[in-house]
């Protein structure tokens, strides 16, 4: 109020409540999205460790390159 931005204490409280509600809604949206992504990750199947996944990709690529070179 001293800065002149608000005319009364009730305006300060109204603004604070509005800001709090907005932040709470944002938090709820973030929590909902994290839950959705968690569920999608679980539904996508078992996890493969990074080095193992890259080894599989390299093996498939090597096989394709070998097949292409042999043709």
More confident site: 17 or 66: 17
Sign of CA dihedral 4, 8, 9, 11: negative
What DSSP string runs through 29-53?
HHHHHHHHHHHHHHHT-----HHHH
Whether 55 is covered by a domain: the verdict is yes
Whether 61 is covered by a domain: the verdict is yes
Could you tell me if 15 and 6 are in contact, meaning their C-beta atoms sit under 8 angstroms apart? yes
Q: Report pLDDT digits (tens) over 26-58.
A: 999 999 999 999 999 999 998 889 999 999 999
3-state secondary structure of 5: coil
Whether 4 is covered by a domain: the verdict is no
Confidence of residue 2 (pLDDT cuts 50, 70, 90): low
Whether 14 is covered by a domain: the verdict is yes
- pLDDT for 1 equals 57
- pLDDT for 50 equals 92
pTM for this one? Answer: 0.55
Domains identified in the chain, total number: 1
| Structural domain span for residue 19 | 9-70
Whether 63 is covered by a domain: the verdict is yes
Residues in the chain: 71
């Amino acid at each position: 109020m001293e800065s002149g931005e608000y005319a009364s204490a009730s305006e300060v409280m109204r603004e604070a409540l509005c800001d709090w509600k907005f932040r709470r809604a944002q938090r709820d949206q973030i929590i909902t999205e994290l839950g959705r992504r968690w569920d999608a990750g679980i539904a996508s199947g078992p996890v493969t460790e990074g080095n193992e996944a890259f080894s599989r990709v390299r093996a498939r690529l090597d096989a394709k390159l070998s097949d292409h070179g042999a043709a």
